[in-house]
A and B are shown apart, each in its own frame.
Chain A
Amino acid sequence: MINVNDMNKSFGDLHVLKDINMNITKGEVVVIIGPSGSGKSTLLRCLNLLEVPCDGKITFQGIDITDEKNDINKLRQDMGMVFQQFNLFPHKNVLENITLAPMKLKKINKEKAVKIAMDLLKQVGLEDKHFTYPNQLSGGQKQRIAIARALAMSPDVMLFDEPTSALDPEMVGEVLQVMKQLASDGMTMAIVTHEMGFAKEVADRVVFMDEGSIVEVAEPKKIFSNPENPRTKNFLGKVLSVS
């Protein structure tokens, strides 16, 4: 579904992504892990062109998204994204947050958009919050709304950029639960996270990144119990010994 070929990305002199090759197939959950500053988030943000790669090629459902002839706005409608900082629209209530894009982009009428939104709110367990403004919600609730907002466009793939990193510990579970459900419903997902337990349980494949390169890709069982690369071993040794 998504193919990345020889992608590089630099910010000025800083070479943050080096010769990235990666593919995500339909229905697959790919979890990207690695130390801070390893380029995980940048990689994810390149997938929907929030960051523009310097060279290389990214195809989404066979279409080259880096080709300026292709309408990235149209392509983004099929790629949902969830951010670390939620980024809900504070001047709109929950329902308006969710219905805005479907109504404006898919020209769905309000009645139908609200119905879709209410179904999604039910799915994330927040159907009673539809008229609430984001600032009155907890972090976990905000992130679940953000997931519902992305799902409202019925995307083919969901990108999660450290969705639980800004949450208080007791709220991490409720968000992971929603994501787990999504994964078991067959959604294609790419997730940057520090939640190793979640990665172990939900991922089909785990990608380990360090210093801008993909160091190792393996099934979770393999990478967590018997990593091949010494850098993977070192990193996992540090994070797993804590938890």
Chain B
Amino acid sequence: MNVAWALLWKDLATEWRSRDRIVAMTVFSFLIIVVFQFAWPNMEPEQIAQLAPGILWVTYVFAAVIGLGRTFSTELENDAMTALALAPGNRGWIFLGKATATWVLITAVQAMAGLVFALFFRVDLTIGLSGTATIVALANVAICSVGTLLSAMSVRSRFREVLLPVLLIPTLIPVLAAAVTGTTATVAGEALALTTLQPLIVIGGIYFILCFLLFDFVLDE
């Protein structure tokens, strides 16, 4: 458990000093939003309301993929990955530390991207904000769990930039489907129903436990 805290602190400290990932993710998500704006130049407000949750989540997922691709790049720079592999104890804690740090970063970027999205598309995200935020937070558990595990593998493969999205996106389809459905309801002002949260909790829980256990094998040689 202490190892998880150490990694969380280390990842956030290095990120605070370099700001590599957060800048890359933020800029990228802004660009996607702008691209969507040009893809449908003259949308009626009702059309926007219908498409908004989808656009938002496509932005979120692609930004997350960008961020996750860099999760282990600091570890590769001076082969610190070997130091992590050599650490005694359950490596699941290493996974937990890295996944939590990524969760913090991705959630922060999503908050900013959401703000920009609301401005550009003139969507009032304050309606059902707490519900939407809960959905985002839960979906991020699933995204960061699988993302951290797959990133640790893809980073040591060839064509890692291509491989990560190819591996990651299929596993995120159920998360995406549940999150978009939930967000559609919350931005329309509906109360957050347990039936929307249930799939996100279940998927997040399954992914988290599974990745926690499987991570041990990723660091072996």
> Do A and B associate with each other?
no
